[in-house]
Amino acid sequence: MPKDTPTAESPLKGKTGLRRIVNAFFNSLAGLRAAWRHESAFRQEVALACVLLPVVFAVPMPGVERALLAASVLLVIVVELLNSSVEAAIDRISFDHHPLSGRAKDIGSAAVLVALVLLGVVWACVLPERVLALL
């Protein structure tokens, strides 16, 4: 790359090594706190996870099935965090109605819906067989 070519890197990305990892960890915790404080959907999905994840570890099943159930729950939280970040960025730009802003928010919401459907499908495929085995 030629010397005079500008880079897209942020000048704030100067930290490396262990300091970067520590900073990233605390930034992640701040993000989780912000999501909890400002996003009711995130709180609802965490409540759902608090109900479902104990079931994952209470019902005897092979590790792969346990991982599928837990991953489907955690995926909903990940997608919700990403959706919330898209919505916050769009709201930062403008509260004015714009078709592209609406489209971006709707697509983020659709991603959460797809993750929730996936959760339902995985749980409907795995859990009934395990519960019947207990009876």
* Domains along the chain with CATH numbers: 40-134 (1.10.287.3610)
d(CA 1, CA 126): 52
Contact (CB, 8 A) for 73 and 119: yes
CA distances from 45 to 23, 40, 131 (A): 26, 9, 23
**Phi, psi at residue 19, to the nearest 5°?**
-60, -40
Active-site residue, selected from the candidate residues 39, 45, 65, 80: 80
The tens digit of pLDDT for each residue in 54-113 reads 999 999 999 999 999 999 999 999 999 999 999 999 999 998 999 999 999 999 999 999
pTM listed for this prediction: 0.83
**80 is annotated as an active-site residue:** yes
